[in-house]
Amino acid sequence: MSEPMVSEAKNLTIREVRVILTAPARSRLIVVKVETSEPGLYGLGCATFTQRPLAVKAAVDDYLKPFLVGKDPQRIEDIWQTSWVNSYWRNGPVLNNAISGVDMALWDIKGKLAGMPLFQLLGGKCREAAAVYRHADGADEHEVEDNVRRYMDEGLHHIRCQMGGYGGRNPISRRPEGALPGAYFDPVAYAQSVPRLFEHLRKRIGYGVELLHDIHERLQPIDAVRLAKDVEPYRLFFLEDPLPPEQPEWFRMIRQQSATPIAMGELFNHPLEWIPLVKERLIDFIRVHISQIGGITPAKKMAAMCELFGVRTAWHGPGDVSPVGHAANLHLDLSSPNFGVQEWSGFPDPLPEVFPGCPEVRQGYMYPNDRPGLGIDIDEAQAAKYPCPPGPPDWTLTRTPDGTSVRP
């Protein structure tokens, strides 16, 4: 960094905070842009809560923006702490995502001021690239196998396997009269299908590739315990989200009865949801949605705590994380010694056009670019071409065969 910029940084202030909503690949994405008093110096952050984007936008526009304008963007820790308590009540998904958008943007600005990629400011590389996993689905075991082989041919070594999506797509023939609409699934048929799927895959593909599976909280706790035992012979890399956040005590029973590695956390908001699980070594991978917990500042602290207890990171990285959020995940992956694996759903067109500088994946590894900060930008004119669709999502309206509403 040249001497003039260092001098100007002493009087740097936040000039504007804006929310950009866009849905280039159908998922509703939320990006926060923090502009500074230095012309052309700004940062981007991910605040994507795709089910409630307008609530996050209002939190940023109506509360965080007036709180932040005029402050020094270099004081990241102080801004995070004061933003977190300024609402008095905290640790909710809307406010956490709003804070995250600002927090990531400030780290982006910090990297640009330093003239360094963010991973350098977080301690430097622990590895050259981050191993990713992708999702192989299919209507039956053979279609799943075909998709697993396709990803293996692309160089992936970690592949998550589902059959018929979350909870399967078994036909529901016993709905009661007048059953309400929803995303119906049969938890019994689903639980029985999973061991069959992995028995098929291991027989046909062998053990030279890491296989994963996501329960997505679709089972009663005791059935999740049974499934963790049933898939143990197939040596999963991990079994994801076997329980909802509301049932943490059941993790002790899973641990007592099965050596299947457990990954948990994409719905977590509050530190008390993950601290006991990590301290008691009841999970093996933490996979929070980092904007859901408030951004990079709390995520780097979480990663350090998990390292002390032998828990690895596997940050949430589906299509409803913006490329800005994926870039933040990657910088944490590269700089964390206890990195495990990174979920990645791909960057389909036109995402790379809307977000220039997307990280690249080659032969199963995600690589950063050498640009300062997060290394990613947004083309606002392109983003405006893809407005967010209105209304709540349908897939969260999950029901069992008798019509009972259950966790999605």
Instruction: Quote the pLDDT of residue 8.
Output: 52
What distance in Å separates the CA atoms of residue 134 and residue 272, rounded to the nearest whole number?
A: 29
CATH topology classification for 120-370: TIM Barrel (3.20.20)
**The architecture CATH gives domain 3-117:** 2-Layer Sandwich (3.30)
**Cα dist from 1 to 96, 112, 113, 214, 225, whole Å:** 32, 9, 7, 45, 54
Catalytic amino acids? 166, 216
Residue pair 155/363 in contact (Cβ under 8 Å)? The answer is: yes
Residues of CATH 3.30.390.10 domain(s) within the chain?
3-117
- Please state the pTM of the whole predicted model: 0.95
Residues of CATH 3.20.20.120 domain(s) within the chain?
120-370
* pLDDT single digits (tens) 53-110: 999 999 999 999 999 999 999 999 999 999 999 999 999 999 999 999 999 999 999 9
Residue pair 155/132 in contact (Cβ under 8 Å)? The answer is: no
* pLDDT single digits (tens) 363-372: 999 999 999 9
Residues of the chain short of pLDDT 70, as ranges, are: 1-8
Instruction: Quote the pLDDT of residue 3.
Output: 41
Instruction: Quote the pLDDT of residue 171.
Output: 78
Instruction: Quote the pLDDT of residue 6.
Output: 46
- Write b or e for each residue in 268-290: b if 16 or more Cβ atoms lie within 10 A of its Cβ, otherwise e: bbebebbeebbeeebbbbbbbbb
